[in-house]
Amino acid sequence: MERLTDWTTLARRWEQAVAAVPDASFLEFVPSEGEGSAWTYAEFDAVVDETGRALGAYGVRPGDTVQLVLPNHPAFVATLLAAARGGWTVVPCDPRSTPAELARQAARTGAVVAVCGAAQAAAYRASGTVLPLVPVAPQDAGVPAAPGPAGPGHAPADPTFPLSLMFTSGTTSAPKMVEVTQANYAFAGDVMAAAAGLRPGSRFLVVLPLFHANAQYYSVSASISVGATVVLAERFSASRFLTQAERVRATHASLFAAPIRMILARAEPVALTRPMENVWFSQNLTADEYGRFAALVGCRPRQIYGMTETAPAVLMSRRLNLAPTTIGSATPGCHVRLRDPDADAPPAPGGTGRIQVGGFPGLSLFRAYRDDPIATASTFTEVGPDGFTWMDTGDLGRLTDDGEVEFIGRGGDLLKVAGENVSVVAIEAALVEHPDVLDAAVVGMPDPVRDEVAVAFVVPTADAPSTLAHDLGLWCAEHLSGPRLPREIHVVEELPRTAVGKIQRFRLVERSTG
């Protein structure tokens, strides 16, 4: 079995980068309005220390959990690195979360402090959560100082200690909490930096939200691994993406298919004068979309496949892959196999199999689902005598004749809305909480921009008003956020079910498209 000392931490990777390239540019923040800010590795290290001391003054100690409700902002990065150095855990939350969602997240994670952006503070106060609220103003670099003595700023980092708890939608009504360790961040950064060809002087443009694993793993951690520069945009703008990439001299980026389609639809089709070196993307692009975007950025975008639980993207297309519709082959340093859904064996040639990822829990794979040992055990399906474990993603793939994996579909009740995992069960749970709803089902429908969107079907109670569909739209706006909002709500007499009571979702899809 590999020794614990064979694995490093994000804290150690950060210390190494600061020591090796202290005067190199680390973070350049590009706000939507006004002048940006920039820090070298040494300068931002001071911001990280100040953030750690400030949160210590709020009572944060090693082993504690901090709820992080911030948009793309330098304070997000500073808090993450301060947590790595101080031995505590962050809970990155969607800054669009409703008060009810924020309250549930705080209660489930046992957070002791909440760090909020100025635009998120009102929603957090409305949640009724009685935690110390640390506000971060747009002009702040990190968490502002607080009155009182600072707590311990550094703590010895255990590679398997959870650096973050990230919520991911599952097949139950409550999203699972993924324990992502110090070693996971370091491993993901090292693997993705090597795969992307990152090096000192590379400039990684980050437009995806920081609360996502994608931006944290593939962009920030990967840049730290080699001493590259993170160019952090406050928010994604499809119309300005190309001019922004040109202005900041971006060499690398990571996107989903939906933002790429938005860029093609809204941006001036002017190719970059400095071709990018590598662009990751995930989900489906047509051959025409792929070709047009490749011409604009000056390189062949590479499709990747990964999850919060896998740390790095474990499948990716080669730089010279001629089949951009596939998700490629195993990333160097990662282990992937396909297993027959009905047998513990590889699928027949050309057949569909479940995508499984091998590694060590807490080191190269996520550690566990917090407070859910049953889900953890069902995901880690095969454990060897040396601790090497196979994790079942629940997703399906097929091996092509060229040895590339073609993505077939997602397991479980998940939708992929503009790159975000959305649980249909969670949406259904919110709908049936309405007093005039007897039953509800949600399906995914194709969308030309967001890949999929949620469409709801509800069975009304006997005395429900005729305005139920409109009323539910208002209800959902209060209880669900962003990609979880149904695009359409249909009132129906009954839901199609099997003899044992399971909803036949495909019949709802047929009804919606017929």
Q: What is the pLDDT of residues 360-388, one digit of tens each?
A: 999 999 999 999 999 999 999 999 989 99
Instruction: Encode 341-360 in three state secondary structure.
Output: CCCCCCCCCCCEEEEEEEEC
Residues 11-60: tens digit of each pLDDT: 999 999 999 999 999 999 999 988 899 999 999 999 999 999 999 999 99
Structural domains of the chain in order of their starting residue, each with its CATH number: 414-513 (3.30.300.30)
Pairing of strands 414-417, 420-423: antiparallel
Q: Is the pLDDT of residue 67 over 80?
A: yes
Q: Distance of alpha carbon 161 from its chain centroid, rounded?
A: 20
Average pLDDT over residues 427-451: 87
CB within 8 Å of 383: residues ≥ 6 apart: 389, 390
Q: How far is the C-alpha of 314 from the C-alpha of 81, rounded, in Å?
A: 24
Q: What is the pTM of this model?
A: 0.84
- Nearest of 437, 338, 313 to residue 390 by alpha carbon: 338
Tell me what the pLDDT averaged over the chain comes to: 90
Q: Is the pLDDT of residue 475 over 50?
A: yes
pLDDT at 514: 61
Read off the pLDDT band of 500 (50, 70, 90).
very low
pLDDT at 200: 97
Q: Is the pLDDT of residue 154 over 50?
A: yes
Q: How far is the C-alpha of 133 from the C-alpha of 318, rounded, in Å?
A: 46
Sign of CA dihedral 223, 228, 233, 239: negative
- Nearest of 156, 141, 135, 128 to residue 69 by alpha carbon: 135
Q: How far is the C-alpha of 428 from the C-alpha of 439, rounded, in Å?
A: 8
Q: Is the pLDDT of residue 325 over 80?
A: no
pLDDT at 174: 62
Q: Which residue has the higher pLDDT, 361 or 440?
A: 361
Average pLDDT over residues 108-119: 96
Q: Is the pLDDT of residue 467 over 90?
A: yes
Q: What does the angle CA 102 – CA 107 – CA 111 come to, to the nearest 5 degrees?
A: 90
pLDDT at 153: 63
Beta-bridge mates of residue 338: 355
Q: How far is the C-alpha of 153 from the C-alpha of 283, rounded, in Å?
A: 41
pLDDT at 170: 42
Q: Is the pLDDT of residue 323 over 80?
A: no
Q: Is the pLDDT of residue 354 over 60?
A: yes
Q: Which residue has the higher pLDDT, 406 or 39?
A: 39
Read off the pLDDT band of 172 (50, 70, 90).
very low
